[in-house]
Chains A and B, each alone.
Chain A
Amino acid sequence: MFKIVKAEFLAQDIKLFQIEAPRIAKKRKAGQFVIIRLDEHGERIPLTIADSDPEKGTITIVVQGVGKTTKALNLKETGDTIMDVVGPLGEPSHIEKFGTAVSIGGGVGTAIAYPTAKALKEAGNYVITINGARSKDLVILEEEMKQVSDEAYITTDDGSYGFHGFVTQKLQALIDEGKKLDFVLAIGPIPMMKAVADVTRPYGIKTVVSLNPIMVDGTGMCGGCRVIVNGQSKFACVDGPEFDAHGVDFHNLADRNKMYSVYEKEALEKFEHECKLDKKIEAIENAG
C-alpha cells in the first residue's frame, strides 16, 4: 500500500498527487515513470513521475481523468492509498548541454515534460518552454515552468490565454524569427507530438518524444508496449519511453492505443453509473 500525502486539482480533471514511495523517490530520474494499480481488481497503468522529494520520500504524479482508472484515481484524497506503485521504470531522459533547448508540453503532457525541462535547465541549457492547453482554465504548472525557463510561452487553442493557436505554431514562429534551436522535447497527445516532429524535421533539429503506449508489466516481459522507431520494433518500457521523434511511426502508435477503446468505454460507463448510484444512495441516506 502506498499512501497519498497530498492530492489537489490543478485544473478540471487534472489532479496532482504526492505519494509516499521512498525507494522510488531516491532512485528516480527525469523521464522515468511508475506503474500503478489501484486495487485488487485494477489494471496496471504507466504514469510519468513529474517530480520527487528524496528527503521526504515522495514522488509526484499528475493525472488527467480520462478512463476508468484515471477517473477513479482522481477521486482519491490525501490519506488514501494506492495498492501498487512500482518504479522508477524506463530509461531516464538523456540530458546534456545542447545549447538552446525547447520543451513542449500539451495538456497534461506539461507535467510530464516539467522534470526534463528542469533537468535541461540544470544542465546549463537556454530553455524555452511552450505549453499548450485547450483553454485558459486547463493551463497547469505555469509558475513551475516559468522558474525553469529562460523564455516561457503558453498557447491556448481558443485564444483565452497566451498565444492563440497550437504549440507547433509557436514553435514555427520561433524558428521563423531565426532562433537557432538545438534540441526539442515534445510530450503530449500523439497528434501534437507528430506535428512537432513534422515541424522540426526539415530543419534537422534533434527532437525527442515521450511515448505512452499500452503497458502491462513495464519491465520488458510482455512486449505490449512495442513501438516502431526507424523501422524497428522497440519496447517503450525498457528501451524508452523517449525516442527520436523523427523515426517514430505515430500512425501505428495511435492505432495500437485504440486497441481497447470499446472496453475502455464499457468500463468507464459502468464506473460512472456506479458513481451515480453511490451518490444517490448517499443522498437518500443523508435525507433519511
Chain B
Amino acid sequence: MQQQLTAKERMKIPRHHMIEQDPLERSRNFEEVNLGYTAKMAQEEALRCIQCPKPSCVEGCPVNIQIKDFINLIAEGDFLGAVHKIKEDNALPAICGRVCPQEEQCEQACVVGKRGEPVAIGYLERFVADYERKQGKIEYPTINKSTGKKIAIVGSGPAGLSCANDLVQWGHKVTVFEALHELGGVLVYGIPEFRLPKEIVRKEIDGLRKMGVEFVTDAVIGRTTTVDELMQEEGYDAVFVGVGAGLPWFMGIPGENLVGVYSANEFLTRVNLMKAYRFPEFDSPILDCRGKNVAVFGGGNTAMDAVRTSLRLGAKNAYIVYRRSEKEMPARVEEVKHAKEEGVQFKILTNPVEFIGDEKEWLKAVKLIKMELGEPDDSGRRRPVPIEGSEYIMDIDIAVVAIGNGSNPLIQQTTPEIETSKRGTIVVDSETMKTSKKGVFAGGDIVTGGATVILAMGAGRKAAKAIHEYVMEGKW
C-alpha cells in the first residue's frame, strides 16, 4: 500500500492527534494522560512519512534511532519488527516515546513538518513499544559470551540503564547500584505516574534483569561504598557514574524555610516514590492540597509535573510563576499545553521576592514582582528585569520551587581525583565520557546539569562503548 502513495499524497494525510483523557477528568486522577494510538492510527500516521533518502530525523535523535526504517515497518504492519529496530539503538522506547522532547529533536528535523505538522515519531515509538509489552512477546537481544569483566554502574536512572543495556549484551557482568529503595532514578521519583506509569519503568528494568544485569538498591556510592572500594576491593574493572542531578536549588529569598515551601524534588518524590497521595495507606504524608492555592516557581518540565500533580492532589488554584515569557519556557510544548487544558494558571514575567508566613511559620502568601525582558543573557534568552514598584501579594498555601538542581557532592567528596567543574558537575571527555580518574566514566545530569532523559541515555551509550574498549584493550 505504501508504494502506491506519492510523497505529495502522503503529506496530505493529516497528523493523528494523541487520544487523551478528558482534561477535567484527568486533572483529578493519576492515570496516564495520553492513551496512545490504535493500530489503525499508527499505520496511517506511519504512511505520512515520505521515507527521505537522507533522513534528517535520525540526525535529530540523540541516540540516532533508525526512525525511517521503524516507521516503514509500522506502515507495513510489522509492529514487532519496528520495536526491534528501535531497540537496536534505544533500550527504553516505551519511556522515550513518552518523555522525549521530540519537537526539539527528531520531529523538529522532520521534512514533512516543514510544510505542515511533522510525522508523530514519538507517538509511533510509544505505540510499538506498548504493542510489544501488551503482546507479552518481549524479545531480548542475544548476549555475547562472557568477557569476565565486571562493570559497576552507579545510579539506575536513564543514563545507568542504557549503559547497562549495552554492556550486558557485550558479555560483561554488570551491577547497578541505586541509593534509593526503588530502581529507575528520576523515572520513578521525578516523573509522575500520569506522564510515565511506573509499571512501564518496572517492566523495562525487569527486561534488563532477565538479560543478566544485577541490581543493588539501598547502596549510596560515596557513603556505603566508595568508587575506589568498588575497583580495588570488589574487583570492578570500570565504573560508570550516572547519579543524576543532586541538590535542589532554592532562590535565596526570605521565607524559603517556612512550612509549606517544598523543592520540586521533595514534592514529587513524596508523591511519586513514597505514594503520599495514597496516605494513610502509605505512611509518607504530603501537605493537604485540597482546596488550597499552590504556586510552582519555574518553567521547566519539572515545574509542569509539580503543578499538574498539585491539581491531582486537589488544589483549588494551581499557578506557574515564571520570570520570563512563555516562549522562553524550557518545558516541552505538550506539557505546557496539557497544564493549561487542566486549568493551571500561568503567571509569566513574574518573580517571587519573599515568602510570607504566619506566627507558626506556615506559609500564607508570596510577594511577587512583575518582570520585563531586557537584553539577551549568556543563555541567549532575553534577561528578565524587575519592574520597579510592581510588587504585589498573592495568597498561597503551598509553594514548590522548581528552578533546577546543583550537583550531588557525595561521589566527588570521597573520590577527589574525579575532576569537577565550578558548578560541581563531573568533567568528562565528550566523546568517551572518561573522567580524570582511570577506569571511571560518567554521564547524564551529573555531567550536563539538569537535562533530558534521552540525552542521559545517549551519554550512557557513549560511555558503554568507551568502557567496552577500555576493559577489553586495557588502554586508558
Contact = CB atoms under 8 A, between A and B. Distances in A.
Interface string B344-364: 000000000000000011100
B429 to A, nearest CB: 27
Given A223-B266, A255-B360, A88 B246 contact: no
A119 interface: no
A276 B180 CA distance: 33
A87 B224 contact: yes
Interface stretch (A7-15, A190-198, A214-222): A214-222
Contact of B266 (A89, A222, A264, A270): A222
Contacts of A42: 283
Interface stretch (B59-67, B102-110, B254-262): B254-262
Interface in B265-289: 265-266, 269-270, 274-275, 279-285, 287
Interface string B192-225: 0000000000000000000000000111100111
B250 interface: yes
A85 interface: yes
Nearest to B408: A220
A267 B283 contact: yes
Contacts of A228: 257
Given A24-B224, A221-B265, A233-B250, A86 B218 contact: yes
A226 interface: yes
B246 to A, nearest CB: 5
Interface in A22-62: 23-24, 27, 37, 41-44
B223 A87 contact: yes
B314 interface: no
B283 A226 contact: no
A86 B285 contact: no
B263 interface: yes
A88 B256 contact: no
Contacts of B409: 220, 238
User: Which of B220, B259, B279: most chain A Cβ within 10 A?
Assistant: B220
B225 A256 contact: no
A107 to B, nearest CB: 23
A266 interface: yes
A223 B224 contact: no
A44 B284 CA distance: 8
Q: Which of A88, A258, A263, A264: most chain B CB closer than 10 A?
A: A263
B223 A220 contact: no
A41 B179 contact: no
Given A84-B217, A220-B247, A233-B250, A263 B270 contact: no
B248 interface: yes
Contacts of A41: 275, 281-283
Contacts, number: 119
Contact of B247 (A87, A216, A223, A258): A223
Contacts of A86: 179, 181, 218-220, 224
A69 interface: yes
A183 interface: no
A114 interface: no
A83 interface: yes
A263 B288 CA distance: 10
A2 to B, nearest CB: 8
Given A44-B274, A238-B410, A226 B269 contact: no
Contact of A256 (B180, B224, B269, B361): B361
Chain A interface extent, by class: 35 or more
Contact of A216 (B223, B259, B269, B282): B269
A88 B266 contact: no
Nearest to B284: A43
Interface in A65-106: 68-69, 83-89
Contacts of B225: 23, 27
A36 to B, nearest CB: 10
A75 to B, nearest CB: 15
B408 A23 contact: no
A193 B282 CA distance: 32
Contacts of A252: 257, 361
Nearest to B225: A23
Contact of B285 (A85, A88, A249, A263): A263
A206 B360 CA distance: 30
A166 interface: no
Contacts of A219: 179, 220, 223, 246, 408, 410
Given A41-B283, A221-B408, A87 B266 contact: no
A260 interface: yes
Contacts of A220: 246-247, 408-410
Contacts of A256: 257, 259, 361
Contacts of B362: 255
A17 interface: no
Given A86-B224, A224-B266, A216 B218 contact: no
Contact of A89 (B217, B220, B247): B220
B248 A222 contact: yes
Nearest to B185: A221
Contacts of A227: 257
A235 interface: yes
B285 A260 contact: yes
Contact of B218 (A84, A222, A260, A270): A84
B416 to A, nearest CB: 15
A259 interface: yes
B274 A216 contact: yes
B407 to A, nearest CB: 9
Contacts of B282: 41, 43
Interface in A111-169: none
A251 B361 CA distance: 9
A216 B276 CA distance: 12
13 contacts: A86-B224, A216-B270, A216-B274, A219-B408, A222-B266, A226-B250, A233-B250, A238-B410, A252-B257, A255-B360, A259-B287, A260-B287, A263-B285
Interface of A: 23-24, 27, 37, 41-44, 68-69, 83-89, 216-217, 219-224, 226-228, 233, 235, 238, 249, 251-252, 255-256, 258-260, 263-264, 266-267, 270
Nearest 5 A/B pairs, CB to CB? A263-B285, A222-B266, A43-B283, A255-B361, A223-B263
